[in-house]
Amino acid sequence: MKTITYLLLSFILASCSAVKPVTLDVALVDLYFSDVKLLETTLVSTIRIDNETPNSITFDGGVHKIYINDLYVGKALDDQTIEVPRLSSTKQQIKIEISNLTFFTKLQRMIQSKDFRYRIDSTFFVDGTYGIRKVTASKEGRFSLTPGQNFASSL
């Protein structure tokens, strides 16, 4: 009986270690304001998801948090199913609802700067054989604005 238990335990541990972690990269491609209202504004972002594995990956939703100059801008909750082909990339548009009262008080500090740092922290969900698994990716970058240049064209 002990032998069967040890064999079963060894099989389970070997199966878990055979699950390879997903390697992907996420980056901001475009960023612009849309649907401006009195108390809330929609920030639309296009992100690029790079799949660095030899297998296609299907994500069943995700959460994306955006920071500019170390200030939290907001998060996008994404319920789309998206497939990223093997060794390829896919672009996806996400919408971040931001509070005007909170964001625009911080905007004054950001406008005074011509150099911007951004960070995107993404969590994707993969529905697999053993349940839902989280796959995370983060990316940091910089961009600068020159006179007459808009915010989105500098990403």
CATH number at residue 148: 2.60.40.10
Report if residue 105 sits inside a domain: yes
Report if residue 100 sits inside a domain: yes
Q: Total domain count for the chain?
A: 1
| pLDDT attached to residue 68 | 87
Report if residue 2 sits inside a domain: no
Instruction: Determine the structural domain holding residue 108 and report its residue range.
Output: 22-154
pTM to 2 decimal places: 0.76
Max Cα–Cα distance, the chain, nearest Å: 77
pLDDT (tens, 9 = 90+) of the chain, 155 residues, equals 666 655 555 656 555 544 556 678 999 999 888 988 999 999 999 999 999 999 999 999 999 999 988 888 899 999 999 999 999 999 999 999 998 887 777 766 666 777 889 999 999 999 877 788 999 999 999 988 665 555 544 44
Q: Could you tell me if 124 and 21 are in contact, meaning their C-beta atoms sit under 8 angstroms apart?
A: no
Report if residue 70 sits inside a domain: yes
Report if residue 51 sits inside a domain: yes
